[in-house]
Structure 1
Amino acid sequence: MDLAALLDPLGLACREAGEAIRAVRSRGFAVEHKGDLSPVTEADRAAEAIILAALARHAPGVPVVAEEEVAAGRIPALGESFFLVDPLDGTREFVRGGDDYTANIGLVVAGTPVLGLVLAPEQGRLWAGVVGGVAWVESHDGTRAPLAVRTPGERLTVVASKSHMNQATRDFLTTELPDAELVSVGSSLKFCLLAQGKADYYPRLSPTSEWDTAAGHAVLLAAGGQVDGPGGAPLGYGKPGFLNPGFAASAGWKGPKLAPYMPL
């Protein structure tokens, strides 16, 4: 499979999904809740249908684990390679009228994300990368700029979740990084800020699903960054239930281990 050749058609699919999401927002929508009490809307489902159709055309035969498909009990048998799709990451932000939400496609090979696309519909920006290959951000007019992480300076810029800031994260930041500048951002945009050289570190001390992180993880790896689990080993994929216990994403900066601060 030529991974770099997938970026353009899948990028178009992300943009089409973004247009569908914005159309739903424009006409209004109802909010439902899944079994885990997380919100879901017509926009989530419309965007996912567009992305799944594109993957079937451009990467036939590769299993796809998509958030709303999983919620409906449809989980494919997995091989060494599989896609992870979050059609609307940051649904809570979307429901509240915020702009920090994204559409995400990630490809995992042998437990590692190797291709990622992250679209921010309200910004019109698409971040994309193939590990060991290209990494770029595309503006609404199609202009592309390369991505590369920056060398951390004396004062770190740390990004954290708008909707999922918890006491464990506050304790970690207060104890380990008291002098860091803190920026609150929603969804997978936090990975993109690191990949674009606008931030240095993103600690997550609460659970996420693998489809929340795979695309942004791949973009960050392609830009020269890294994502480690609570104990400091690289974060892997294909875990039971597709759940991440916690992680630290960085621009190559090896920070303190998260495990001592993780809730039991």
Structure 2
Amino acid sequence: MHYSSILPDVIKVADEASEKVLHIYQSDFKVNYKDDKSPITAADVASHEVIVHGLRRISRDIPILSEESAAAPWEERQHWHRFWLIDPIDGTRDFTQRSGEFTVNIALIEEGEPVLGVVTAPALKEAYWGASGEGAFKRDRTGRTHQIRVAEPKETLRVVASKNHLNAETKAFIDALGAHETVQAGSSLKFCRIAEGHADIYPRMGPTSEWDTAAAHAVLLAAGGKVQSTDGHPLLYGKEDVLNPNFIAAGNWYF
């Protein structure tokens, strides 16, 4: 598949979902809670519907796995060699707290690897995308698009950390890095900050799901970075258990 041929259409779908999300974000929305106590809003549902409809316009043959839909059984998913993996809103807590640092995420997975990803930050008016062999790009709030690349590390590492999920294990890992400064970011923007050279490393020692990371992982790969589990294996997708292991995202220099 030539990713460049479908990437503009995927970006358009993400932008359409972002418009829906932003409209709800600017309203007096209601927060509900799933069985696992995680928050959900009308924006999650609206974004899911727009993305699924848009991706089916692009290809009806590629299956879709979304955080906001009933997952296909493993007996079916294990035969998926290529599929869309989406998180209609990553960082729903950032959404409900109105920090602006929530994202819309669309990834294409092939043989377990994220080969294309689009991440939009509707409230920040930013967008990131990347694909295997195509490089990574950012569209800023002025509408200007430029190519992005991971930075070479400096003497003091810039460590990007979660504002909502900084646990003791992650803090211990960061402290062991030595001299560093902390770059705060929400949702999948943590990967994007590394991809654009504004941070150097993002350790995550806590639960995430495949849809939380896939799109931004693809952007980071296209920008020259990597994501690996703490035992040195690449972070893969399409597993029976959709939970990710603990991982580290960084430029190639780290691995």
The reply to whether TM is greater than 0.5 is: yes
Matches within 5 A, 1:159-198: 159-174=160-175, 176-198=176-198
Sequence identity percentage: 42
When structure 1 is superposed on structure 2, of 133-142 and 41-50 the one drifting more is 133-142
* 2:48 alignment partner in structure 1: 48
* 1:142 alignment partner in structure 2: 143
What is the Cα deviation at residue 124 of structure 1? Answer: 1.2
Native 8 Å contact 1:4 1:134 kept in 2: no
CA distance in 2 between counterparts of 1:140 and 1:13 reads 18
Task: Return 5+ residue gaps in structure 2 as ranges.
Answer: none
CA distance in 2 between counterparts of 1:111 and 1:41 reads 30
User: SS of the residue aligned with 1:86?
Assistant: strand
Matches within 5 A, 1:47-196: 47-70=47-70, 73=71, 77-78=76-77, 79-174=80-175, 176-196=176-196
Distance 1:83 1:18, change over 3 A: same
Q: Which amino acid aligns with 2:8?
A: D
Matches within 5 A, 1:183-222: 183-222=183-222
Query: If the length of structure 2 is used for normalisation, what is the TM-score?
Result: 0.95
For residues 105-162 of structure 1, give each alpha carbon's deviation from its aligned partner in whole angstroms, at most 9, with x where no partner exists. Answer: 0111111100000001112111000022231111244321001111111111010111
1:2 and 2:16 aligned: no
For residues 185-205 of structure 1, give each alpha carbon's deviation from its aligned partner in whole angstroms, at most 9, with x where no partner exists. Answer: 100001111110111100000
Say how many residue pairs are matched: 252
For residues 213-257 of structure 1, give each alpha carbon's deviation from its aligned partner in whole angstroms, at most 9, with x where no partner exists. Answer: 0000000000100000120111111122311021100011326xx
Query: If the length of structure 1 is used for normalisation, what is the TM-score?
Result: 0.91
CA distance in 2 between counterparts of 1:27 and 1:75 reads 36
Native 8 Å contact 1:192 1:220 kept in 2: yes
* 2:225 alignment partner in structure 1: 225
User: SS of the residue aligned with 1:5?
Assistant: helix
Matches within 5 A, 1:18-33: 18-33=18-33
Native 8 Å contact 1:118 1:126 kept in 2: yes
CA distance in 2 between counterparts of 1:194 and 1:200 reads 5
Q: Which amino acid aligns with 2:82?
A: S
CA distance in 2 between counterparts of 1:134 and 1:253 reads 18
Task: Return 5+ residue gaps in structure 1 as ranges.
Answer: 256-264
